[in-house]
Amino acid sequence: MTRYKTLRDFPVEEYLSPGSTMCAGCGAMLVLRAFHKVLGPNVVFVNAAGCLTLLQVYPYTPNKSSWMYTAFASAPAGAQGIRDALDILMEKGRVNSFEDLKVVVVTGDGAAYDIGLQSTSGAIERGLDFYYLVYDNEAYGNTGFQKSGATPYGSATATTPPTERNPTGYTGVKKDLFEIWRSHKPPYIATVAPSHMVDMLRKIETASQFKGPKLFIAFSSCPTGWGFDPSLSVRISRLAVECGIWPLKESVYGKVRHTYIPTVLKPVEEYLRHQNRFRHLFTPRKQETAIASIQEQVNNYWLEAAKNEGFRITVAKPVTIAPP
């Protein structure tokens, strides 16, 4: 049984004060707020360098909980130290179970997909009892939006700008972090998005039942880096899910289940068009081949998932390319 059936079940307690230093419309803040509401006040966040590091600039903090800042690669090691210290203090009777803290790593995609992947892998392998939350804005957001391992095909970043020789922007593929983690066989992994809040609350609640690594990859719409109006942040997130670009799923001990299945996928163009980072795909001329390639990747993903899980889905037609 879940406590979260509709948005009316969104917990009213607030553990993050308003008026932070984050950009207006930052999707990562919506995710962090929801996590804090479900996990409650007895939380210690262990933060790898990234955008959310700027939330806590001494002597100010919007959190009604604890926050420890680490270097890019070290957050899982920091989490291990805190967990071990709490366990030892509890064993000695110096901390009781009401004072115990949930240990939550909070990191951007730069640390999660690239710089901190090794220490995360080690923590999962050791079975560390922690939450690991990636706010994925698909680039190094707080240093000027350089490409990360999470950057998707076709995105312009500071280090992959569209040029005359390469008009598509980034031409590599986004790493599949969900599958990298799944190969470690942790108890729980999920993807979440701020537009699908009830799905997210339920997943955090489900994860709480498991001891061991509990991993979340959160779609984090980024008005500053992606180039859209902050008021559209939740709409962009919804389009990502409805176009099938951001599948909502979970894995319990390795068994994958999609938690939201858009029965008819919207064309990816509807998602891409709203963001300046993909503007070069539409102007000065439409890059039909690049857009068709993105659509094909999404379609293939969902057709495979439908076959594995036995659901029906209607994929969007790839863009028709006129013969030369």
Q: How far, in whole angstroms, is CA 62 from its chain's centroid? A: 21
Quote the tokens at residue 305.
């998932």
Find the shortest distance in angstroms from Cβ 102 to ligand SF4. Answer: 23
Site membership for ligand SF4, residue 31 (CB under 6 A): no
Site membership for ligand SF4, residue 51 (CB under 6 A): yes
Task: Choose, by CB under 6 A, the member of 26, 46, 189, 272 that binds ligand SF4.
Answer: 26
Task: Choose, by CB under 6 A, the member of 4, 28, 79, 319 that binds ligand SF4.
Answer: 28
Quote the tokens at residue 140.
């190094």
φ/ψ of residue 195, rounded to 5: -75, -20
Find the shortest distance in angstroms from Cβ 105 to ligand SF4. Answer: 17
Q: Which H or E run includes 201? A: helix 197-207
* DSSP3 helix / strand / coil % (the chain, rounded to 5): 40, 15, 45
Task: Give the contacts of 211 (CB within 8 A, at least 6 positions apart).
Answer: 129, 187
Q: Closer CB to ligand SF4, residue 195 or residue 251?
A: 195
Find the shortest distance in angstroms from Cβ 261 to ligand SF4. Answer: 28
Quote the tokens at residue 6.
């509709």
Find the shortest distance in angstroms from Cβ 51 to ligand SF4. Answer: 3
Task: Give the contacts of 141 (CB within 8 A, at least 6 positions apart).
Answer: 50, 51, 108, 222, 224, 225
Site membership for ligand SF4, residue 262 (CB under 6 A): no
Cis peptide before 59, with omega less than 30 degrees from 0?
yes
Euclidean distance between the first and the last CA atom of the chain, given in angstroms as a whole number: 57
Binding mask 209-248 for ligand SF4 (x = CB under 6 A): -----------x-xxxx-----------------------
Binding mask 76-115 for ligand SF4 (x = CB under 6 A): ----------------------------------------
How many residues of this chain bind ligand SF4 (CB under 6 A)?
13
Hey, which residues between 146 and 165 contact ligand SF4 (CB under 6 A)? none
Binding site for ligand SF4 (CB under 6 A): 22-23, 26, 28, 51, 137, 141-142, 220, 222-225
